[in-house]
Amino acid sequence: YQMSAMFFKKILIINIFGIGDVLFSTPLIRSIKESFPESFVGFVCNKRAYDVLKDNPCVDKLFIYEKDDFRALYKTSKKQSIQKAVQDLSDIKKEKFDVVIDLSLNKYASFLMWALGIKTRIGFNYKNRSPFLTHKVNIDGYENKHVVEHYLGLLEPLGAKKIHRQMEVGIAPQDRQWAEDVLGKHQIKSDDLLVAMVPGGGVSWGKDVAYRRWPPQQHARLADKVIEKFHAKIILLGDLSEEEIGQRMVQAMQQRVVSLIGKTTVGQYLALLAKCKRVIVNDGGPLHMAVAAGAKTVSLIGPVDENVYGPYPEEGHVVVTADVACRPCYRQFRRAQCDHIRCLKDITVDAVLDRIKF
């Protein structure tokens, strides 16, 4: 099953999902680099995830694939969309990759990599959609172990010698400096007890994002209590699309917080997370950004199984869930029909406060 390491000069990884999933790939990337130090690692990701990989020292070249851009271009010009697809594939072909590790669960990806002449194609054969993989793991979803562990399992055919289990992210010096400056501007000193709260939760669930968000009024009450109990300074972080949810939280509060929602780049966001003593966060990409940046997290998790999608590794992190019989209900990439969301709404402010330690 294992192959000779002499083949592994050039390795391509494909993961076109959201920021959290791409960060789940970083132990895989590091394991490859440590096992095959001379290897060249390429990575195919979407535009959103590009920013969490661009400063990763283990990635030699990034290729961006954005499905929505292709669809939009196809609607305006089929010819241009085909030309772009040919150009993008040509850029990959030029690198002459020996191996591809396909995390896309996509029926076209393994076919295209075969068409490009990549001889060894390793990946997940999701619902038998990937007949062009040469080494495959059959799955209907991620179950029983963390997604990171599922990804690391694909190293077996390579015979990787070193397995790395920490998620990681590169943070540029200018982003660290920006974080210092913006905190100073808001009178937050280096010895202050700095806590970040993320009342949103990323965008990867689209219209179902409410199923990942603890109510903003609860976040507001918790923030007030954290300030009162620990004399903490709190910053709010989030995407520009989450500005309204941040405003609702601020309006419901009695204490003062600094809202930087929608006011950072991804790199600046990561630099701020890295400076926090705790990050209180919903399930989603920001949770995994905080973990990868080295922050300790307190996460509020609803429908998903925290053993599969929670902070990884779990040491030093606190997961708060509600004891309801129907959770976790997210299985095989599908959430059960639900109109009560008790798994989030039943998490009390005091239950979270009790789990916060410094």
pLDDT of residue 129: 86
Whether the bond into 57 is cis, omega within 30 of 0: no
Q: What is the pLDDT of residues 79-105, one digit of tens each?
A: 776 777 778 888 999 999 999 999 999
Structure-model confidence comparison of residues 204 and 32, the more confident one: 32
16-25, 178-187, 322-331: lowest mean pLDDT where? 322-331
3-state DSSP call for residue 330? strand
pLDDT of residue 336: 77
Mean pLDDT for the stretch of residues 236-254: 94
Strand ranges inside 120-256, DSSP E = 120-126, 135-139, 194-198, 233-236
Report residue 184 CA to chain centroid gap.
28
Residue percentage of the chain with pLDDT more than 90: 74
pLDDT category of residue 209 using cuts at 50, 70 and 90: low
pLDDT category of residue 1 using cuts at 50, 70 and 90: very low
- Is the pTM here over 0.75, yes or no? yes
pLDDT of residue 66: 79
Contacts of 326-331 with C-beta under 8 Å, sequence gap 24+, read 327/302, 327/303, 328/303, 328/304, 329/303, 330/303, 330/304, 330/305, 331/141, 331/143
Mean pLDDT for the stretch of residues 163-170: 95
pLDDT category of residue 333 using cuts at 50, 70 and 90: confident
Distance CA 297, CA 321 (A): 14
pLDDT of residue 281: 97
pLDDT category of residue 5 using cuts at 50, 70 and 90: very low
Beta bridge partners of 320: 300
pLDDT of residue 202: 65
Four-CA torsion 15, 20, 23, 28, nearest 10 degrees: -60
φ, ψ for residue 333 (rounded to 5)?
65, 25
Distance CA 356, CA 222 (A): 11
pLDDT of residue 74: 59
Residue 70's identity, in one-letter code, is F
pLDDT of residue 147: 98
pLDDT of residue 164: 95
Structure-model confidence comparison of residues 47 and 7, the more confident one: 47
Distance CA 236, CA 1 (A): 49
Q: What is the pLDDT of residues 61-75, one digit of tens each?
A: 999 987 776 676 657
pLDDT category of residue 205 using cuts at 50, 70 and 90: low
Strand ranges inside 83-215, DSSP E = 99-102, 120-126, 135-139, 194-198
Q: Is the pLDDT of residue 10 over 90?
A: yes
Contacts of 89-96 with C-beta under 8 Å, sequence gap 24+, read 89/116, 91/63, 92/12, 92/42, 92/44, 92/63, 92/116, 93/117, 95/10, 95/12, 95/40, 95/42, 95/61, 96/10
Q: What is the pLDDT of residues 291-328, one digit of tens each?
A: 999 999 999 998 889 999 999 999 999 999 998 888 88
What is the bridge-based pairing of β-strands 61-64 and 233-236? unpaired
Q: Where are the alpha helices (DSSP H) in 54-119?
A: 67-76, 78-94, 107-115
Mean pLDDT for the stretch of residues 22-47: 96
Task: Calculate helix-pair angle for 266-274, 173-185, nearest 10 degrees.
Answer: 70
Tokens matching residue 242: 């989450």
Q: Is the pLDDT of residue 287 over 70?
A: yes
Sort 13 into a burial class: Cβ within 10 Å, 0-12 / 13-18 / 19+: buried
Q: Is the pLDDT of residue 332 over 90?
A: no
pLDDT of residue 53: 97
Mean pLDDT for the stretch of residues 112-121: 94
Mean pLDDT for the stretch of residues 20-29: 97
Tokens matching residue 50: 């590009």
Distance CA 309, CA 289 (A): 13
Mean of the per-residue pLDDT values for the chain? Answer: 91
pLDDT of residue 88: 82
Task: Calculate helix-pair angle for 216-230, 243-251, nearest 10 degrees.
Answer: 60
Q: How many CA atoms lie within 13 A of 57 on its CB side?
A: 6
Answer yes or no: are the C-beta atoms of 43 and 62 closer than 8 Å.
yes
